[in-house]
Structure 1
């Protein structure tokens, strides 16, 4: 029967006594050769990064000895742990992480650890982080060995590093809102002061 036209529309004979409307599509202008139209930019990576919801802390230990240092991490919204590492260049340090329900805090957490955005570009509005990280107090676990994570790094001269959470998708961890304690201690069998750097990258999910 061939193609048929009706009121500006074209139909194609499907060979089974039915007709189908013929549609001719053209690629977007920006895909055509020589086009001056603006291309669509696609950003690779985490959405949270471009929405400026990722932050980091980078704390340097210069004299960690007999007294452990405790970070109190409080986040009222769900969050994703993207990266966590411990680097030691003197002595040996153990990082143990606990939930609030696993022990008792003491003292006063009055010293604020600065948190910095992981994206200072002004393409999106600045995000107000809800999490806080403080130190100054103590944490005593109810049951020894009940920590949810342990990182151990010891060095005998050269710098040693342990990364417990990578920056790839497979290393991400989704964690519920709450209070967590990160306890940094000198490793058993090590004497003197320990020096190193603890790093953390978190994405809030409000």
Structure 2
């Protein structure tokens, strides 16, 4: 039986359907927002797990959806805070199994933290490869990321520097190609696929 895969968003789905080369290109194309994407994916996974844990908790208590006052003293705020800390700790320690067992369908959620962790690792590989570039290449790539961040087009940069757009494009392409070349073996070993 094949386990259903739940993606938090289209970005994550596109990422996991890509081959090694595609993953590297996605990271480089969205380098400045990749950590933000990871944060959103992590929050989505945690929310999915908490919702399912709540459902199981109510189901185990025989809850029919009708609120009934019990004699138990309850502090839902403290309980929620403890759950959040436990879930955060499980993610930080990469030991989510205990939290998944509190859900109705642990198998449904098991792949989500693995995919998230894999994306974080891939991003770290790209950061490491960038850190090993020459100072000049790092400056070039950082300029490219700054242009991305500020939504500055190559044409504007070329005009300011009084050079051809193709020269700027080639400069960035050359450095990005170095990153791809240095990262592809690591990705292929990890994902077990050879790309063209």
Give TM-score, length-normalised by structure 2: 0.20
Structure having the higher Rg: 1
The structure whose residues are more often strand, as a share, is 1
